Amino acid sequence: MKILIAEDDPTSRLLMQRTLEKFGYDVVLAEDGRAAVEILSQHNGPRLALIDWMMPKLDGLGLCREVRSAHRDGAYVYILLLTSRQDAEDVVAGLEAGADDYITKPFHPAVLQARLHTGRRILSLEETLVRAREEMRFKATHDELTSLWNRAAILSMARNELSRSSREARPFSVLLCDIDRFKRINDNHGHLVGDVVLEEVSRRLISSVRDYDAVGRYGGEEFLIIVSNCDEESLRTRAENVRTAIGSIPIQTGKAELSVSISIGAMTHCCWEHDISLESILAKADAALYNAKAAGRNRAVFALPSIAA
């Protein structure tokens, strides 16, 4: 594990470096407080820091304050403050500045090792809590089976994109996709095979759009794609790319090789012409999807432009 030693005295810095390397740490050195802040601010910088109270350019208390201010939303840095001061007021000042612990000079190596082990336990706990938080956030916004955005999340993104498109006077486009004859797949092959189809269709949808387009599971076998900054002519090309990505290669399900296709209802709204609600846009896309189904499936049908309404 990386650890930063911020100490201006070369002899003390070398002794601490050798001690910590014996403990198995990957040691990073700084000769003053300002250099230490820069190192701790780096991506993948040390999460443990051994900081001397008295340093040039920026002392230990100032360093603690800057690190705490800069890392509010980033990975936590555990700071152990080195000091020869033992007055209660000084200890309180160091902890209030943002230090997690302190150790007085001179110190026994075993005491330092124990204090650092405490810091590592706290960092491990923090990492566990962060992972749990991110997992909860992911589950709240993503579909459990396909890992696509869930209905609530994709609709929220669609509303935000529609508002942004209106402000920036650019088109807002959606593709509403439905797997053809999906009920037949479930009836003939079982729901487990149906789940495999949903997962593979989801992967192909993601791979067929741009990184900044959004794909969500809109319903059971329905998917909503928000295509950013794309006029109707370009959307026709993208819709065909999506349709081809699904239907061009059979899906291997383990039990059977299935030819799967999708029908698409497409809609482009020219946001500079007039305002329209997301519900109206989706209703038009849904009507176009119905027409695609009625016309034989495995095709994209475009809704009438909203400016003609």
DSSP percent split of the chain into helix, strand, coil, nearest 5: 50, 20, 30
In this structure, what token pair is assigned to residue 141?
A: 């916004």
DSSP string, 95-157: HHHT-SEEEESS--HHHHHHHHHHHHHHHHHHHHHHHHHHHHHHHHHB-TTT-SB-HHHHHHH
Decide: 190 and 253 in contact? Cβ < 8 Å: no
Q: Which of 7, 161, 221, 222 is catalytic?
A: 221
Handedness of CA 252, 262, 152, 231 (dihedral sign): positive
Structure tokens at 222: 């329905």
CB contact at 8 A, 198 and 143: no
How many angstroms separate the CA atoms of 284 and 78, rounded? 55
On the 0-12 / 13-18 / 19+ scale of CB atoms within 10 A, 88 is exposed
As a whole number of angstroms, the distance between CA 15 and CA 220 comes to 64
Please name the residues in contact with 243: beta carbons below 8 A apart, sequence gap of 6 or more: 261, 262, 264, 298, 299, 300
**Residue 185 and residue 175 in contact, taking contact as beta carbons nearer than 8 Å:** no
The answer to whether 169 and 275 have CB atoms below 8 angstroms apart is no
Active site annotation includes 221: yes
Contact 64, 79 (CB under 8 A): yes
- Per-residue burial over 229-243, b = 16 or more CB atoms within 10 Å of its CB, e = otherwise: bbebeebeebbeebb
Catalytic residues: 221
